[in-house]
Amino acid sequence: MSKTLATKRQSTLQRCIEETRNGKRKILFGLTTALELQMVPVPEQCRLDTDRLHSVASTRGRRMSSKTMASHVWTEFDGPSQIRLSPSIYVLDLVHTWAQMARFVDLEQFIALTDAVIFRMMMDGKRDPLQRMSEFLEQSSSFAGKLFCRMALRLAQENVYSPQETICRLALVCHGVPCPETNYVVPGLTFRSGAAMTVDMAWPEARVAVEYDGDHHRTDKRQWRRDQEKRELLRLHGWIVLVVTADALKDAESRAYFAFQVSRLLISRDVRVDFLIEARPLEKMCRLPR
């Protein structure tokens, strides 16, 4: 995924350069453009035209639009929230971009985006991203999507490498499965190279793990061999590893069966699971005590 995000960043940056040259002006970019420039996956289902660039202005009168760029008003930003990429290209930081995106995606997609923003901030060396996001909400004025932001933070997790891993986790917890640890580093186990072994989702006390395999896990031979090495070693050390693909998430029935499979594995290892046949709505989950 990192290579894909890097490629997308370069192509978007080139488009931004051309836009500033054509208009002979400085531009502050936000929303999906800011996500791409900072290597965060854009939600698959988004109520924005992702083929266009998106700029930000503090007032309606300062908006700058063109055939290839839409302009939006965002009154919350200040000097420190603007990142300078070049003399003419600025981008909103990830906390502001995250808040901006709240009104353009549904709750499930927004929680996945929240996880992705947290992960990117951690990769960029930003400490306590969850706290930074919470503090922004406390200090900001009212804006469209602020409630969604608060709701998403209740189910967000650190160390989530892909949006599909988030969707997997949400499918499980909505069916009553205890929340797993994300990208858990398995103590004492390493690859032949010496690198630590991690699993996408884990219940360490039960030695149960779930691995989500995207298409590249099958098409990339090196990735496939690495997966096999890891999973074989885990099983030799008493772990149960359930591997799932996008098919496990394609509809409500598939998600329920996936959650049922995980529940059975956990129960077999003496973990209590209050399995729900019908998924609890995410909106309700976000309002439950954590």
Strand arrangement of the beta sheet that strand 89-92 belongs to: 69-73, 53-57, 27-29, 89-92, 82-84
pLDDT at 6: 94
Q: Are 78 and 96 in contact (CB under 8 A)?
A: no
DSSP state of 53: E
pLDDT at 225: 86
pLDDT at 158: 94
pTM, whole model, 2 decimals?
0.92
pLDDT at 288: 58
DSSP state of 57: E
pLDDT at 78: 81
pLDDT at 218: 60
Report the C-alpha gap between 42 and 22 in whole angstroms.
Answer: 26
Q: Which runs of E-coded beta strand occur in the chain?
A: 27-29, 53-57, 69-73, 82-84, 89-92, 181-190, 196-203, 208-212, 240-244
Helix/strand/coil for 250:
coil
CATH 3.40.960.10 domain position(s) in the chain:
163-283
Helix/strand/coil for 183:
strand
> What are 113's two structure tokens?
């985006």
> What are 245's two structure tokens?
């693909």
Q: Is the CATH number 3.40.960.10 carried by domain 163-283?
A: yes
According to DSSP H, which parts of 146-251 are helical?
146-155, 163-174, 216-219, 221-236
Mean pLDDT by 10 residues, the chain (290 residues): 89 95 89 98 95 92 88 88 94 97 97 98 94 95 94 96 96 98 94 90 98 71 85 95 96 97 98 97 80
> What are 175's two structure tokens?
């069916």
